[in-house]
Amino acid sequence: MAQPNIKQIIKQEYIKCAKDPVYFMKKYCWIQHPTRGRVQFNLYPFQEGTLRLLQKHDRSIILKSRQLGISTLSAGISLWMMIFQKDKSILVVATKQDTAKNLVTKVKFMYDELPSWLQIGFTENNKLALRLKNGSQVKAVSAASDAGRSEAISLLIIDEAAFIEENRIEEIWGSSQQTLSTGGRAIVLSTPNGTGNFFHRMWTKAEDGSNGFVPIRLPWTVHPERNQEWRDKQDDELGLRMAAQECDCDFTTSGNTVFETEIMKFIESTNICDPIEKRGIEGNLHIWEYPDYTRNYMITADVARGDSKDYSAFHIIDIEEAKQIGEFKGQIGTKEFGHMLVAIATEFNNALLVVENANIGWNTIQVVIDKGYQNLYYSPKGDAATNADSFLAKGYDITDTTKMVPGFTMSMKTRPLTIGKLDAYMREKSVTIQGQRTMEELRTFIWKNGRAEAQTGYNDDLVMSLATGCYVRDTALKFAQQGIDLTRATLKNLGKSTPGIYTTGGVNKQQAGWSQDLGDKGQQDLTWLL
């Protein structure tokens, strides 16, 4: 019987491997299992199915549960490309260099375990890179580096994409487009990390077929060795929120957003709508209702710090209904912003104008004062700024500059109070939000080191100005139900004398104003309400 031709067998096996990465990995790749040590890479059905999709499509995005071996799968397809295709450049990007290096380490381990006839030799082998003699290479970089810049990329792998800072991943993706557009491939993979970030937006677009990516969703249930007992254990070990993030592939319950997802879903499904008018050169001022001269309005404004990434913003709020009827977000000079605020406030029934007075906000406030706008909000100094009862009981006069300052004072004390007030309004469904831009900011408003702020790469100008509006309405103005009744009565009794409730101290309202009888505490000036 003739001896088999070893060279012919090797040639046939080589061809099979070159044609089919699944065959290559299952038969010739070994991996380092976290508990079992060195084992053959026997792909689970879900891994094999994923690999088929990665082979078939140039751009794939993978939403995955933890510890499914998808990073190892990415290492396997990287090695397959390097061995069977010349001059291929694979770039691995992750949040940290160690994470990216880990994938390259997996490629090296697989390569070292290959039979000799599949090993073609290398010209570079270090912790961050492996270059083969055929010119193909894999390289690991952190997102903090100049990843993707000036790289000729055949395959871009972005690992744990949802956890890379927003400005960095956008820059990485943007800088890689030129080389990817010439035939390069991309694999973006991650567990979820809240909504609104780059990975979430890319996944959403992939689902609706608008960005050319194939979405691959891999929850914990795809793993044949996991059951409900395993899942319940994750809740105990990780906590409910982290387990949802790490296991369920659920964007809405992952992340660390300040406002509850279910509440935001309710708002978005019931209130968010297109404005009836967009004003300005760039259409940055959105209007949902025109002024009704029987209504009282408030405009709450946040002034940009002055850098290119920050925006000035304001809301037009129907005070009685706590309803957002207008919204502005744009880049505008502080003085121009002041002129704009006076014009809009005048249009909306001389609305109460609440402008944050921190830092550069003073420039805008000064314009408002110089233009002689009368209905400018003043903040009480000291503890009264955070205590509504103190504010009202002391009967502060907005003309007394020793006790009041123009604008709203956002401080370490008032900031958490304003955010808490907005959260309460949203939970109680007491505020009507109509702007999509505001909704987007709410989704990316997160807890970061114990502080509520915008996710990196996003803004919170609309969130903070809306929070200010809720706070002013409900505390400083006392416009909870008692305050609404008070305002109605005040407006109704203009020009009348109502003993025991309101009295006029003279014919000139600007001088004496309206006052409320506080019994043994005397009279409280109500000019500021009007």
DSSP string covering 97-148: HHHHHHHHHHHHHHHHTS-GGG---EEEEETTEEEETTS-EEEEEETTS-TT
Which residues, 6 or more positions from 103, have their beta carbon under 8 angstroms from its beta carbon? 71, 74, 75, 78, 92, 94, 140, 157, 159
Cβ atoms of residues 324 and 438 within 8 Å: yes
CATH number of 337's domain: 3.30.420.240
Beta bridge partners of 164: none
My answer on whether 338 and 423 are in the same domain is yes
Q: Which long-range contacts (CB under 8 A, 24 or more apart) does 446-449 make?
A: 446/194, 446/255, 446/256, 446/257, 446/258, 447/256, 447/257, 447/258, 448/256
Residue 34 resides in a domain: yes
Residue 147 resides in a domain: yes
My answer on whether 317 and 432 are in the same domain is yes
Residue 487 resides in a domain: no
My answer on whether 413 and 512 are in the same domain is no
Q: How far apart are CA 417 and CA 309, in angstroms?
A: 26
The strand order across the sheet containing 285-287 reads 277-279, 285-287, 323-330, 312-318, 297-302, 352-355
Q: How far apart are CA 439 and CA 322, in angstroms?
A: 16
Q: How far apart are CA 310 and CA 186, in angstroms?
A: 32
Our count of domains for the chain comes to: 3
My answer on whether 52 and 148 are in the same domain is yes
Domain end residue (candidates: 253, 281, 315): 253
DSSP 8-state assignment for residue 211? S
Sign of the C-alpha dihedral computed for residues 270, 272, 273 and 277 taken in this order: positive
Burial code of 321-331, b = ≥16 C-beta within 10 A, e = fewer? ebbbbbbbbbe
Residue 1 resides in a domain: no
Which residues, 6 or more positions from 351, have their beta carbon under 8 angstroms from its beta carbon? 296, 297, 298, 299, 316, 344, 345, 375
Burial code of 222-245, b = ≥16 C-beta within 10 A, e = fewer? bbeebeeeebeebeeeeeeebbbb
Residue of 355, 405, 446, 395 whose CA lies nearest to 162: 446
DSSP 8-state assignment for residue 386? G
My answer on whether 404 and 528 are in the same domain is no
CATH number of 144's domain: 3.40.50.300
My answer on whether 399 and 290 are in the same domain is yes
Provide the token pair at 340.
Answer: 């704009």
My answer on whether 177 and 40 are in the same domain is yes
- What is the per-residue pLDDT for 402? 64
> What is the separation of C-alpha 198 from the centre of its chain, rounded to a whole number of angstroms?
9
Which residues, 6 or more positions from 460, have their beta carbon under 8 angstroms from its beta carbon? 441, 445, 453, 454
Strand, helix or coil at 93? strand
Cβ atoms of residues 139 and 104 within 8 Å: yes
- What is the per-residue pLDDT for 175? 82
Q: How far apart are CA 216 and CA 59, in angstroms?
A: 11
My answer on whether 59 and 157 are in the same domain is yes
My answer on whether 309 and 344 are in the same domain is yes
DSSP string, 4-28: P-HHHHHHHHHHHHHH-HHHHHHHH
DSSP 8-state assignment for residue 257? B
- What is the per-residue pLDDT for 151? 63
Q: How far apart are CA 134 and CA 216, in angstroms?
A: 32
My answer on whether 519 and 435 are in the same domain is no
Residue 119 resides in a domain: yes
Q: How far apart are CA 322 and CA 474, in angstroms?
A: 10
The one-digit pLDDT tens for each residue of the chain (530 residues) are: 556 688 889 999 999 999 999 999 999 999 988 788 889 999 999 999 999 999 999 999 999 998 899 999 999 999 999 999 999 999 999 888 888 888 999 999 999 999 999 999 989 898 889 999 999 999 988 887 665 555 678 999 999 998 888 778 888 888 888 777 777 899 999 998 877 788 988 998 999 898 889 999 999 999 999 999 999 898 888 777 778 778 888 776 656 778 877 788 888 889 999 999 999 878 999 999 999 999 999 999 999 876 666 789 999 999 999 999 999 999 999 999 999 999 999 999 999 999 998 878 899 999 999 999 988 988 877 654 454 444 444 454 544 556 678 899 888 888 898 999 999 999 999 999 999 999 988 888 887 777 888 876 678 999 999 999 999 988 756 533 444 444 444 444 443 433 333 333 333 333 334 555 556 656 655 555 44
Domain with 522 in it: 493-530
Q: Is 359 left (phi over 0), alpha (psi -120 to 50) or beta?
A: left
Radius of gyration (C-alpha) of the chain in whole angstroms: 31
Domain end residue (candidates: 253, 270, 299): 253
Task: Report the alpha-carbon angle 500-505-509, nearest 5.
Answer: 115
Residue of 314, 242, 245 whose CA lies nearest to 285: 314
My answer on whether 32 and 15 are in the same domain is yes
The predicted model scores a pTM of: 0.57
Cβ atoms of residues 275 and 292 within 8 Å: no
Residue 485 resides in a domain: no
Centre a 10 Å sphere on the Cβ of residue 368 and count the other Cβ atoms it contains: 23
My answer on whether 110 and 228 are in the same domain is yes
Q: How far apart are CA 309 and CA 295, in angstroms?
A: 35
Cβ atoms of residues 139 and 154 within 8 Å: no
Residue 488 resides in a domain: no
Which residues, 6 or more positions from 336, have their beta carbon under 8 angstroms from its beta carbon? none
Residue type, 124: E
Residue of 139, 45, 115, 483 whose CA lies nearest to 298: 483
Q: How far apart are CA 383 and CA 27, in angstroms?
A: 73
Residue 484 resides in a domain: no
